[in-house]
A and B are shown apart, each in its own frame.
Chain A
Amino acid sequence: MGNVLELRNVSKTFGEVAALHDVNFHVGSNEIVGLLGDNGAGKSTLVKIITGYHAPDRGGELFWQGRKLEHLSVARAHELGIEVVYQERALADKQSLWRNIFMGRELTRGLGVLDVRGMRSETRKLMQSAMGFTSSAITPESTVKTFSGGERQGVAITRALYFEAELVILDEPTMGLSLSETRKALDFVEGIKKAGKAAIFIDHNIFHVYPVADRIVVFDRGTVAGQFMKDEVTLEELTQRLHRVARTGSLDA
């Protein structure tokens, strides 16, 4: 079974700060990879390299379904089917729901003329099928500023789904969500697995990651500190090792 995505020897330095150092990382097809690590471990930088937002330092290589990627851009990553649900949701608060769903990928009728009616009706369909918005108070014209945390998350996730992702990256999707909203987000990750797609699931909370991940990769100070297949490690063991990493920088005693 081939890899959807592979990173070889990827480093990223901002000025004098090394955010990532010589990282090797891969995602198998139909694999859910849990990514754990403290603040500043380099998780978000990794995401931004995979989505084409940052370019890796010289020497780092990215492969998509076995083929080497040169000059990955955000637009190119979208074309490949890499979708992200960002930690901060990446929404435009003062804009309508439909403008948020189609942000950066507006439907057009040629020459850049917007297909406003098409985007509105697609949004309306998605609201019922995917977002679970039942309230009549929300329309495709509603500004997302008025949405609750769970609703905003619903918009970000639906947006990733709509564009037929091959690989979905969720950057701390449970942050700031209520219990029932968190359950929904985890269900969504399981839905990706069932649909035969791959995902990278980033979270602080090991109790959220462990149940849905196939493999867990631990980041520490810009490098991969270790990885575990889920069936090789129990939740208790994993918790202990993570504590050890935080103290010593090493997973092993």
Chain B
Amino acid sequence: MSSDEAARPLSRTAERGPVARFLRTYALQLGIVAVAIVVWVLFLIGSPRTFLARDIYISFMSTTPFFALVAIPLTLVVITGEIDLSFPSIMAFGMMGYDVVFLATGSVWLGFVACLAAGLLAGLLNGFIVVKIGVPSLVTTIGTQFLLRGAVMIVTSGQGLGMTEVQESGLHSALVGRAFGVVPAQFFWTIGIGLVVWFLLNRHRYGAHVYLTGDNEESARLMGVNVGGTKIVTFALVGLVAAFAGFVVSAEVLFFWPTLGEGYMLNTLASVFLGGTSVFGGTGTIFGTFVASFIIGAINAGIVAAGLTGFWTSFIYGLIIVASVSIQTVLGRRLR
């Protein structure tokens, strides 16, 4: 066996010992937690008064879910080796479903169901075009992003819709109310959806196939994995959750703007990639995305609270993202 021993890749030596093994297995998660801590400590030093008080955290819990919700299923799309850029439009497309059904029936609940159904449908459309027609997902979802936004504009004539009725339906307090009078409900929904998707990804056959599809599509297919079906389900999941997120945002402000979703694109994508999900597919974690989205959410408020002008926001934002994905890449090479 001595010749085999010599033939082993050098990286093998890095795997010895339980500590090293733990580091290697959870490198992605540990990395993002480290980034979160560093950012938080910097903000604490920069503006202790803001970051030692409760309000700023309540504010994070209120606004971060608006893009964190979609980032969670979007992580799965990226793990399969695909991308979805249409989710901002799906947020509005779902609400268009609400708009139409609510105006026709006067029922908030029916409108809510229509919203989710429209989102699911939009996601299925993406999946169908990518899998059955074979258009690359980047191109497909740039197209459907315009298509769905256009549909929203045509159907609503660009008009918004007041949503005060939602307040009386019970949906409002369930989705965006304040638990114990303080904690925004959407924060719990983000955790809940995060846990469900984590379970699907790590403890369900569907999730196993998500990883295999993104890692090596040809191998997965040879071994009987339904690669196309897995991708369609994944796009559909993004559609469903995007519509849900669109409803949450609209319920929070009690108004549906037809431009809903614009401005969330980069925050959402940044959360997925900052969270350690590889653009090459096959690796990524829900935990990473979850933590990363709160880092992204904190940066904006943190910079302003630290006394820097808004001009600095973009710069520091970019600095943190570029630095941490670089560190992740280097660590990934070392530890694997």
Contacts and interface: CB of A to CB of B under 8 A. Distances in A.
B336 interface: yes
B154 interface: no
Contact of A146 (B223, B224, B225, B336): B336
Interface residues of B, number: 34
Interface stretch (B61-69, B110-118, B203-211, B257-265): B203-211
Q: Is the interface of A mostly helix, strand, loop or mixed?
A: loop
B204 to A, nearest CB: 5
B282 A94 contact: yes
B3 A95 contact: no
Nearest to B278: A94
A137 interface: yes
Given A112-B205, A114-B203, A137-B12, A104 B225 contact: yes
6 contacts: A95-B212, A136-B16, A139-B21, A146-B12, A180-B3, A180-B4
A212 B33 CA distance: 55
Interface string A122-137: 0000000000001111
Nearest to A132: B1
Identify the 7 closest CB pairs spanning chains A and B, nearest first: A104-B223, A74-B224, A92-B215, A104-B224, A90-B219, A112-B205, A94-B282
Interface in B213-250: 215-216, 218-225
B165 interface: no
Contacts, number: 99
Interface string A69-100: 00001110010000010101111111100010
Interface in A134-169: 134-137, 139, 141-143, 145-146, 148, 150
Given A74-B224, A90-B219, A142-B15, A114 B205 contact: yes
Q: Say which size band chain A's interface belongs to.
A: 35 or more
Contacts of A103: 212, 219-220, 223, 225
A223 B199 CA distance: 50
A247 B164 CA distance: 84
A139 B17 CA distance: 12
Contacts of B221: 53, 74
A90 B212 CA distance: 11
Contact of A78 (B204, B207, B209, B224): B224
